[in-house]
Amino acid sequence: MQRPKWLPELPKIETSGFAPDTAIYLALRKRILVQRDKTAIPELHKLAQRGHAKSIILMGYLYDQEPKLIATNSKYAAQYWAIAAKAGDSVAMYNLGILYLNGRGVPRNLQTAQQLFALASEQDMYRATFVLGQMYEARKDWIQAINVYSRCIAAQYIPQCKTRYGILSITKTKLNPADAKTVVDQLVEASSSGDLEATYTLARLSAEGIVINRSRVAMVYYLEMMVKSPNTNSHYRKLAADMYNVYRPTEQEITEGKNNYRVANAGGISDAKLGSFRVVDLRKTVVEAGGNLE
């Protein structure tokens, strides 16, 4: 491929300043996770034995999540991640927390899991922050859950933080008009990022007139968004059908709501953006702080 004329000359690559283990790791990671090359795993193991942190994380991930590449053994995964967690690695802390949360490879211990998620969250691992919020919700500690979710609202790859923060703020606190607007804006942003729980919530708020003006037309608009999303499933289609049955919009309201949806999305929905949405699975461990390999 020829270099485009407008592309400036790039600097020559100088590798002498980089740790050789990092370059080896990146090549092995590609061979294992992309090319599915099992023969690269013994080489990765040697790298992990030399104390290379990312290799330790990946070895644990393989033992926990990749049965087609290696015989799974979550006890081994826990041992790898314990080494890296003691060294302060946030991904290892998160993964070890997932194991303790589910009792996989280690005894189930919610207190230990929470402590690990809290430590990872302190290093701005937003996925850990979200799971921490989920644990507070499970205990019905609403205020603490809201406070925790507020710390991961900035995470674009976890719009669920905005959704859960918004829902709990609306249902468990008394909002002033300015805060209510902020919460609704966050729900709209989460919905546009593919979180159908946020879209459903906006439909309900519109139908009931909670924190926003009551509008069956707006309800239909959000229900259309929900059922037309590439992320939709039978659960959300049933929720939409149930809402139509409960709130019974008129034919005119249905027509207007659907027309509004068509006009708003005349340029096409960003399927790439919506399709990138992933549910945070509380059973799955990860390779990197910002993403989950599923």
pTM score of the predicted model: 0.86
Q: Which of the residue ranges 192-196, 201-205, 256-260 would you say has the lowest mean pLDDT? A: 192-196
How far apart are the C-alpha atoms of 69 and 72, rounded to whole Å? 9
Q: What is the pLDDT of residue 266?
A: 77
27/130 Cα distance (integer angstroms): 31
> Residue 113: pLDDT band by 50, 70, 90 thresholds?
very high
Joined together, the tokens standing for residue 157 give 């790859």
Tens digit of each residue's pLDDT (9 = 90 or more) over 212-238:
999 999 999 999 999 999 889 999 999
Local structure of 288: helix, strand or coil: strand
> Tokens in use for 29?
């990671």
Phi, psi angles (nearest 5°) of residue 138: -60, -30
More confident residue, 273 or 243: 243
- Give the type of residue at 241: A
Q: Do the beta carbons of residue 191 and residue 199 sit within 8 Å?
A: yes
Rounded to the nearest integer, the mean pLDDT of the chain is 90
Residue 39 phi/psi, 5° resolution? -65, -15
d(CA 232, CA 227): 6
Between 1 and 215, the higher pLDDT residue: 215
> Residue 31: CB partners within 8 Å, gap ≥ 6?
37, 40
Q: What is the mean pLDDT of residues 267-283?
A: 68
Q: What is the number of H-type helices and E-type strands within the chain?
A: 15, 0
Contact 65, 283 (CB under 8 A): no
For residue 3, the model assigns a pLDDT of 46
Question: Per-residue pLDDT for 1 more than 50?
Answer: no
The residue type at 169? S
Q: Maximum CA pair distance of the chain?
A: 71
Taking only the tens place, the pLDDT of each residue in 116-175 is: 999 999 999 999 999 999 999 999 999 999 999 999 999 888 999 999 999 999 999 999
Burial class (CB in 10 A: 0-12, 13-18, 19+), 183: buried
